[in-house]
Amino acid sequence: MIKNVLFDLDGTLADTAPDLANALNAVRLWRKLPKIPIDVIRPTISLGANVMIKLGFNLEVGEPGFDEIKEKFLDFYSANIAIETKLFEGMDDVLKKIENEQKTWGVVTNKSSYLTIPLLKALSLDKRAACIVCGDTVKHNKPHPAPVIHACKLMQANPASTIFIGDAKRDIESGSKAGTKTLIALYGYIENDANPDTWGADGMVRSPNEIHTKLEQVGK
């Protein structure tokens, strides 16, 4: 039986794409470049800032100008972190049902704590989450199992009765290696050429409204 639920943040728990896309385009405008449509940016978001910058400026880590652009991008995003960001439709009902059933839920993200905590506070989730594990909480990030293992310890949860829901392959790898069940959030920021069928998850959901049905199926 599933007693604990862990969520990835960007693309699973919250739709952060508008604010992240605005930050990337703000830096492009600073460099006198035209905006990129949000639908083009969206599939890169769960892969992190470095991949977004590669998309926006065709720069790799270590190349001239990369660090300056990344700093500008993160500064703008930090200052405008919850302008358009909101929970995915139906997610608040999912969280309320988890809480009403006296189950615990938490967040496991590769996003740094200086961005994660203010965002969760803006969404009024920081006090509701039983744990918040960020990209700088433990030594290793997803797809390493360490963040999920740490989250289970914080919640005093058995990984076998825990499920991790995410929209990236590294979420599924992290949860599986940690011993939890896993669900793929197909409504999230999945790359255009990705094949979630090959990720080895225990199930998939096309919207937050499907989560509880899947929890019951996976927990049997």
Catalytic positions are 8, 10
CB contact at 8 A, 147 and 159: no
Q: How many Cβ atoms are within 10 Å of 210's Cβ, its own excluded?
A: 18
CB contact at 8 A, 23 and 80: yes
CB contact at 8 A, 189 and 42: yes
Helices (H) and strands (E) in the chain, counts: 9, 8
Is residue 43 reached through a cis peptide bond, with omega within 30 degrees of 0 on the bond before it?
no
Cα Dmax for the chain: 55
- The token duo for 29 is 């405008």
Residue 45: HSE in the Cβ half-sphere, 13 Å Cα cutoff: 28
